Amino acid sequence: MNLRAIRLILWALVGLAVIGGMAFVLLRQSSVSTAPAQVKVGAPFTLTDSDGSRFSSERLAGRPHAIFFGFTHCPDVCPTTLARLAKLRKELGRGEDAFDIVFVSVDPERDKPEEMARYAKLFSTPLIALSGSLAEIHSVKESFGIYSEKVPDKFGGYSVDHSAQVLLFNRDGSFAGTIAFDETNPVALQKLANISQS
């Protein structure tokens, strides 16, 4: 078994742990009304905003938010996911404060603040687009249970395999579950409505 396979298995275990934890919380919430156990996803972080300034996760305190990890050279899943979040936020009809959309790069080598700014402009709605050093991104990915790996392409460049679920957080910062790429818009909208009303 090579290193890549071991890494994949380890990330799969992290994913399973997150899913298991979520299932546990959901089950608890449905059967026990008092003090549901909280799954800890994520940790305080400081990254670089698309204007080059430092961005502390403290700025998300008291604000519902949806975090998506991707990269600007991603032509398919990333723009589709971010455009969907932007569209659903509009559909909620509660303005841009309904929830923050946070886009974190898993490709910090290519995604500097300028690239992140250009990419964020595609969505004609405010988007927090964060990058950082390799070490910073590694640490944030780890705390949020996000997998990513560079894969060479035939043009001498590379693509990045990555976790593509959207992570949802309530106003109090607690983890509120995920939106998978395949989930329908009505389901995703309900989840976003829930965090926006949290």
Partner 1 sequence: MRAFASLVVLTIVTACTPKAPQIEITDPVIIATPTGGAAYFTIHNEGGGDRLLSVETPSIGEASMHETTRDGSITRMRAVEAVDIPAGGDIVFERGGLHVMLMGSTGALQPGKPVQLTISFERSGNMTITAPIKAPDAPVEAM
Residues that bind partner 1 (CB under 8 A): 11-12, 15, 72-77, 79-80, 82-84, 86-87, 115, 118-119, 122-125, 147, 151, 153-155, 157, 159, 161-165, 178, 180-182, 184-185
Q: Residue 116 and residue 132: Cα distance in Å, rounded?
A: 11
Give the nearest distance from C-beta 150 to partner 1 in angstroms.
Answer: 12
Residue whose CB is less far from partner 1, 5 or 76: 76
- Helix (H, G, I), strand (E, B), or coil: what is residue 48? strand
| Closest to partner 1 by CB, 60 or 74 | 74
Q: φ and ψ at 129, to 5 degrees?
A: -115, 110
- Residue pair 74/64 in contact by the 8 Å Cβ criterion: no
Least gap, CB of 55 to partner 1 (angstroms): 21
How does DSSP classify residue 37?
A: -
Report how far apart the first and last C-alpha atoms of the chain are (Å, whole number): 45
Dihedral of CA 18/184/164/144: which sign? negative
Taking a C-beta distance cutoff of 8 angstroms, is the pair 150, 73 a contact?
no
* Distance in Å, CB of 46 to partner 1, minimum: 25
User: Of 73 and 94, which has the nearer Cβ to partner 1?
Assistant: 73
Name which of 27 and 180 has its Cβ closer to partner 1.
180
- Minimum distance, C-beta of residue 151 to partner 1, in the bound complex (Å): 7
